[in-house]
Amino acid sequence: MATIAVLGTLDSKGHEHAWVAAAIRRLGHEPLLIDAGCLEPPQVTPDISRTEILPELERMAVDRGARVGAMAEAVPKFVAELAASGRIAGIISLGGGGGTAISTAAMRALPLGFPKVMVSTLASGNTAPYVGVKDIVMMPSIVDVAGLNRISRRLFTQAAGAICGMVQATATAAEADTLEHGEEARPLIVASMFGNTTACVTEAKRLLEEAGYEVLVFAATGQGGRTMESLIESGLVAGVLDITTTEWADELVGGVLNAGPQRLEAAAKAGIPAIIAPGCLDMVNFGTPDSVPDKFRDRLFYHHNPQVTLMRTTPEENAELGRILAEKISAYTAPVTVLLPSRGISVVSAPGGPFHDAAADAALYSALESSLRKDIPVVKVEANINDAAFAKACAEALLANLKSEI
């Protein structure tokens, strides 16, 4: 039997959350009813009161926006502590606008793999602000979360079944992480990959797996980079194979696959060994040709497919990218190595390729090396980024950095 948090604004949706709690109990688990309401008294008696989460709530002015904002800041810390201490094994909530904002803030503070279900009136629209980079399951409430009726009772019961099933499946997955002979699961490495660095990452992954590691590959598509950074911050990762840092080109120039200005910071904060390569910093990503802003009309383009248009970065942009990468990497405290391929940083920038530009690559490398902290090794490899020799150099450098941490 597991304990599952049932988190909600019990001043307006208490009876609905109580129904979910009862359904969880019928399914053999123990609900922990948590009140995150901000205004009126709770409709039902919670197991954890709102003032346990936010002691100053009763002293605050009765302003809904201010109280919801304060609760949305307090709940994540409180729920994260419950999860870290092992008091809860999953979380579920029901909500409209305010309840969804509060509860998903709490869910985003929980690690990947921790079961999270949000039944919301907002689940059919743009859920990105609520989900972020976390594995929150958002289920449309269909009708408003405003009472119990023949539709809501069925959906709320199914949602309770979903969170119970996720909790049970998580326990099963944890058992499966132990190998057949009871050995510890392999240490985890995360890697960044793009279509133009696939050969490199695939070969480096093979070598690292032969050395006893498990490698998770993330597409460097903005969301993929943010998710990888989130996993690094979770503490589950032993090493970082960051071969494809292309998202910084989109961040700087204005492409559609940027991962935000925090990209490349998680490994520094977590103190995890890493290798960094400038994979695909030769390109900025757009959609169809007509989606490219007019200000770029005179630039060099390559049509990767009908839906993806790539734009070559200039020497000036590459110099700035070099400085940005150097600033990020210089903050690393664990062993980190920078690897530079001499014959191109993607498939299309190899000699003879449509994006081959020796001056742009030189500007990138020069700015990176001159701005980088002097004790950080820079390894130059006479190869294209997708050559087996470069992949081997990346894998060996990361293995050496991991070994030095033991």
Range list of H helices, 95-149: 97-108, 128-131
Distance of CA 133 to the CA centre of its chain: 4
Residue 183 domain-assigned (yes or no) = no
DSSP state of 332: -
Write down the pLDDT at residue 203. Answer: 98
Q: What is the pLDDT of residues 207-257, one digit of tens each?
A: 999 999 999 999 999 989 999 998 998 888 999 999 999 999 999 999 999
Q: 63 and 114 share a domain?
A: yes
DSSP string, 231-277: HHHTT--SEEEE-B-THHHHHHHT-S----TTTT-HHHHHT--EEE-
Q: How far apart are CA 102 and CA 5, in angstroms?
A: 14
pTM of the model: 0.76
| Domain stops at, among 141, 176, 211 | 176
Q: 102 and 251 share a domain?
A: no
What per-residue string of b and e applies to 282-317 under the rule 16 or more CB within 10 Å gives b?
A: bbbbbeeeeebeeebeeeebbeeeeebbbbbbbbeb
Residue 182 domain-assigned (yes or no) = no
Phi, psi of 12 (to 5 degrees): -115, -20
Q: End-to-end CA distance of the chain, in Å?
A: 38
**pLDDT-derived band of residue 304, with 50, 70 and 90 as boundaries?**
confident
Residue 181 domain-assigned (yes or no) = no
Q: 169 and 263 share a domain?
A: no
CB atoms closer than 10 angstroms to residue 49: 15
Write down the pLDDT at residue 181. Answer: 41
| Domain stops at, among 176, 198, 233 | 176
Which residues span the domain enclosing 13?
Answer: 3-176
Q: What is the pLDDT of residues 107-160, one digit of tens each?
A: 999 988 899 999 999 998 888 889 988 899 999 999 989 889 999 999 999 999
Asked if 196 contacts 283 with a C-beta cutoff of 8 angstroms, the reply is yes
Asked if 90 contacts 167 with a C-beta cutoff of 8 angstroms, the reply is yes
Asked whether the predicted pLDDT for residue 38 surpasses 90, the reply is: no
DSSP state of 71: H
Residue 52 domain-assigned (yes or no) = yes
Q: 150 and 279 share a domain?
A: no
Residue 210 in tokens = 């032969």
Q: 124 and 265 share a domain?
A: no
**pLDDT-derived band of residue 182, with 50, 70 and 90 as boundaries?**
very low
Sign, CA torsion 171/215/241/262: negative
The beta-strand segments (E) located in 121-249 are: 137-140, 188-193, 214-219, 239-242
Residue 337 in tokens = 């190595």
Q: 294 and 399 share a domain?
A: yes
Label residue 111 exposed, middle or buried (CB < 10 Å: 0-12, 13-18, 19+): middle
Residue 355: CATH number of its domain:
3.40.50.12030
Sign, CA torsion 228/363/196/206: negative
Write down the pLDDT at residue 178. Answer: 54
Rounded to the nearest integer, the mean pLDDT of the chain is 93
Q: Which residue has the tokens 């969804």?
A: 100
| Domain stops at, among 115, 142, 176 | 176
Q: 202 and 168 share a domain?
A: no
Q: How far apart are CA 154 and CA 160, in angstroms?
A: 10
Asked whether the predicted pLDDT for residue 332 surpasses 70, the reply is: yes
Q: 291 and 322 share a domain?
A: yes
Residue 22: CATH number of its domain:
3.40.50.12020
- Provide the number of structural domains found in the chain: 2
Residue 68 domain-assigned (yes or no) = yes
Asked if 131 contacts 103 with a C-beta cutoff of 8 angstroms, the reply is no
Q: 197 and 164 share a domain?
A: no
Q: 295 and 153 share a domain?
A: no
Phi, psi of 66 (to 5 degrees): -65, -40
Q: 242 and 390 share a domain?
A: yes
Residue 394 domain-assigned (yes or no) = yes
Q: 117 and 236 share a domain?
A: no
